Structure 1
Amino acid sequence: MSPDRMAALLNEWLWQERYWLPPGINWQDMEMEDEEGRFPLPRDLLITLPLAFAFIALRYVFERIIGIPLSRYLGVKDRIRIEAPSIPKLEAFYEHTSRQPSQSQVVSLGTQCGLSQRRIQTWFRHRRNQDRPSNTKKFCEAAWRFVFYMVSFAAGLGSLINTPWFWDQRECWRGYPKQPVADVHYWYYMLELGFYLSLLLSISVDVKRKDFKEQVVHHIATIFLICFSYCANYVRVGTLVMLLHDSSDILLESGKMLHYAVWTRTCDFLFIAFALVFLVTRLVVFPCRIVHTTMVSSLDFFQPFFGYYFFNALLLVLQALHIFWAYLILRMICKFAFKGKVEGDERSDEESEVDEHDEQEPEGEDGEANREQRKETVNSKPTSLANNCGLNNLTNQRNLNSKLRKAR
């Protein structure tokens, strides 16, 4: 298919003006230049794909040059796990069939490999533990997102704090859709979209959490939201949505970093701060300011069109995810209130079970002390048993002698 034919099909089916623009506005109206900036066009989004791959490459460099050394400096420790022996049949079953075989499958594998059921189950447990992400890997992921959200939030706040729509959301619609986009807001949009595209492209190799499906939905909804809001020139309200989300994500990722470093008190403090910011921004500011202005206030400036309904639908999807995550956070708050500490992340990593007997103790003075302590414990058990047995024998002998004397 020729490029001209493809462009014609896109214009015919996808870029119809009635989908993206209010009645009476066409694409030619959006191509006017303005001294204050540019008017957004769909083709501007093509730059986000190379930006996404650039973010992936930058993340790779960041994790190895900054993330790993920082994790060691903060005291992040990884468990040393026993490596499962190489058994080709079990490895093939693990890779292509199931990571947790049923009892009947364990019996069948034991027959094929000539191993007992216990050894088969132990092999799969060791193999699953090998694939569990290390604390260092989780720390590096959180550190990368923390750095981006911090830089993005600072840049976004600096570019928006002097704009009229930052203080009065009705200004988001004054003159819509013929609103020029400043270069700083254009790059704010492109970098945010490129970053979320990189998260979606790398989500299959990142640490999987209990809310993995919700995270995928969140990334897809965010990408659609950013793309559509740019094409329909919902840029003003879109910048507010991005800034609002980055504000709590900074605290979330920093709390994760300190959680993996076992900075318990600081982590608990950050969790409280994150919970407060999240609940206020996502359950109060977002629906009362953002959703209200897009659903209600905007109708004072233009007639509803397809983009109006589609954009608000995406905002409602985000709000549903906010409610879901707020429920998990409130559960953690209840645990914190009754137990005095954060027991764990309700969105924690979805990993296989951990068997303490299957993991080696770390090397060093602590490891040697633990081994010596276990030796003393093991040695003390037979000694204690022997003493008890000797005491019982002596007592029984005395009782027997007493009975014999009475008998005489």
Structure 2
Amino acid sequence: MTTARSTAGSSRLPGWLYVLFLTLLATATDEFIIAGVLPRIAGDLGVSVSAAGQLVTVFAVVYALGAPTLAVVCERFARRTVTAAGLALFVVANVAAALAPGYWWLLAARVVAALCAAVVTAAAFATAAAGAPKDAQGRYLGVVTAGMTAALFTGVPVGSWLGGAFGWRATFWLIAAVGALATVGVLATAPAVPGGEPAPLRRRLAPLREAAVLRVVAVTFLAASGGLMFYTYLGAYAAEVASDSYGLLSFLLFLVGAAGLAGALLAGRATDAWGPRRGLRLVLGGHALMLATAAALVFSGVHSTAVLAVVIGCWAVFAWGLNPPVQGSVLAAAGPEAGMTASALNISGLYLGTGVAGALGGAVVGTAGVRYVPVAATALLLCSFALALLPARSTGRIKRSAAAAAPRAAVK
């Protein structure tokens, strides 16, 4: 049986951490990959493109709402069991999507896949945090986060290519295959991280009443709303700065993915070096600064592809560096017993922020123009940063429960 902290004192990362990377790559890609084949799905199933687009919306909404709910139910089970079982059902859901005879069957399969992805993601983060050596939690969380980030620039291109070459159903077969591989990897390598003690529902819902946890979730929500608003309208923004550049958007999307991947790993190391709270402030401050720079650039009259690329690359490093310090912060606020529930609640804040980003950005574009998108995004990031600057206060409800369950909560 793999021992979670067997790598303490070693700079070499354990194999199970890369399995968790693959796990989150699969679950996150499942959300993005369908965007590249929406017209083909609409044509094959006889629905409008807008109706096909709801397959993306439903996945995100169900994911956001299901993450904390399912985490409460699964908190008492061993993390390896939760991750493997969730992945297995995730594979089944994607096979059902690949075989879907009609639109409503496909929509139902997406709902199940989203629920499974939600619980698997929370369990993966909890496993990485519990299995990390004391001074390397941020680094471990950074590697897991990198799986989600990599999905950002692999999902749509891979989905578009597969859809064109083999049909849209091939995209779901691919996700199912990667999910099956990850399931085997989790069963073979994941550390033995036990669940929490059996407890009344009131105690399991403690993170929902813990001010320190809710504040971190609010920080995540505001940061996601601002960062993803800018990302959603990146193409329109880039056209304002350098409209004559051929293939600019494709290059910028690749740049965002590569820089974001680096940002996730660097933020993990910064979290280990300075602690999750200081690391979070660094990331949020840098994010706000780069959005303000993007706002200044679009109003400056400078039309330079090179300057635009530098600004976007630096912005992406901070934007996708959020997860390691924010997950470390919410886990520290909740304590080990409620870690999975708190992590899931934070993921829910991230996805709700993503949903708000598109709607709020659309309102800004419709009323003031795309130039004001980075201005609005900067305002949201400044609010997030200000909230993160507040001194940490906790009622201690979760930590007292964790202390009582300490003998069981220790990693085996």
Query: Is the TM value for this pair above 0.5?
Result: no
The structure having more radius of gyration, on CA atoms, is 1
TM-score between the two structures when normalised by the length of structure 2: 0.29
